Amino acid sequence: MTNELEKYIDRVLYSEDDIKAMVQKVAARINEDYAGRKPLLVALLKGAVIFSADLMRALIIDCEIDFMKVSSYSGTQSTGVINIINDLGCDIAGRNVIIVEDIIDTGLTLYKLKELLESRHPASLKICTLLDKPSGRKADVYADYIGGTVGKEFIVGYGLDYDEKFRNLPYIGVMRNS
């Protein structure tokens, strides 16, 4: 461990190699499911940036990417109302859309986002997440593509943050005292 933030990490949950394997697994399924089609990846900022970039490089199909930044939180509580901070730069009507997320925890924001994007009439709408945290789920939303699962621990690294820190760790670690 050489990063100054690593003193806050209790243990590595997924190594760099583990993450590469998860990305390859998800990419293989998307490559198969979307052969001959051109999906639009909708990466959710900020957490999914690293995963989205690695996923896109692992895809062998023609695809595009766009970004959204959304929130439904005031402090640490979900308001139930989605706030679009940065919207898509393209029309998704008639397109095959894959929402790319870093982790699905409560699912509240993603549930609202899915409803919003469905109202824009895509040809299809799927969800891809690097990590699924089913123990935290409060909304009826599930991913079509999942890299791995996590328990109740608070995790950081590879785009996942705590107070905007730790996103740059090349692995996913469990925070101390989580």
Active site residues: 105
- CA-to-CA distance for 54 and 132, rounded, in angstroms? 18
SS3 assignment for 76-118: CEEEEEEEEEECCCCCCCCCEEEEEEEEECCCHHHHHHHHHHH
State how far the Cα of 97 lies from the Cα of 109, in Å rounded to an integer. 17
SS3 66: strand
Q: How far is CA 9 from CA 3, 4, 18, 57, 128, in A?
A: 11, 10, 17, 29, 26
Q: Residue 101's closest CA among 160, 59, 154?
A: 160
